[in-house]
């Protein structure tokens, strides 16, 4: 089994409560649902063997990034996915660009969608564009939350197995934020 790593922004329970049932309802069983709802910052990240050194570097980078607010304003879509869109993707893109500049060999989504990201929270994935267009979604009230940390996760891509948080890294060295908690990839 090949271990893959990623950097994500965890989203609060109010967003999980909306997105997780939608993912269970609409995501094709063949598509992976290995993480709780989140905003991807960089996937894939470094090889598992390089995680500890990479996390040390991330701690220094993230200490220079102040926490910021994110508002998820409503639904939008890609051809085969529906997602919650950020009102202002700028702070997440700035975080991505800062991290990606420090790890230039880590292209987002292996370069499949270009050199940049569209920050979002995936709400549903479909096997076809027609299924995506036919899906119905409940009304959505915008949610704003504070981003004060990132998670570095690892797992086996496309296995359906849950991923594990390797480290939680605070932004801006925020006192009282969750501790940096390293784990071991199996």
Pairing between β-strand 149-155 and β-strand 38-42 as defined by DSSP bridges: unpaired
Question: What count of other Cβ atoms lies within 10 Å of the Cβ of residue 59?
Answer: 14
30: tokens are 């063949």
pLDDT tens-digit readout, 25-39: 888 554 445 678 999
Distance CA(44)–CA(144), nearest Å, equals 27
- CATH H superfamily, domain 4-170: Cyclic phosphodiesterase (3.90.1140.10)
In contact, 7 and 42? CB cutoff 8 Å = yes
pLDDT at res. 184: 52
pLDDT at res. 93: 98
74: alpha, beta or left? (left if phi > 0; alpha if psi -120 to 50): left
């Amino acid at each position: 089994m090949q271990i893959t790593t990623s950097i994500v922004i965890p989203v609060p329970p109010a967003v999980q409560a909306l997105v997780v049932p939608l993912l269970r309802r609409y995501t094709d069983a063949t598509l992976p649902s290995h993480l709780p709802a989140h905003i991807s910052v960089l996937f894939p990240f470094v090889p598992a063997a390089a995680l500890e050194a990479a996390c040390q570097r991330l701690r220094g980078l993230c200490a220079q990034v102040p926490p910021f607010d994110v508002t998820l304003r409503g639904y939008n879509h890609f051809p085969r996915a529906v997602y919650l869109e950020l009102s202002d993707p700028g702070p997440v893109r700035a975080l991505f660009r800062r991290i990606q500049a420090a790890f230039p060999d880590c292209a987002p989504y292996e370069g499949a969608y270009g050199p940049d990201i569209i920050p979002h929270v995936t709400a549903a994935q479909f096997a076809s564009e027609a299924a995506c267009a036919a899906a119905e979604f409940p009304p959505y009230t915008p949610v704003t939350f504070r981003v004060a940390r990132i998670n570095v996760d690892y797992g086996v891509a496309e296995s359906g197995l849950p991923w594990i948080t390797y480290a939680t890294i605070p932004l801006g060295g925020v006192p009282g934020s969750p501790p940096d908690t390293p784990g071991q990839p199996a």
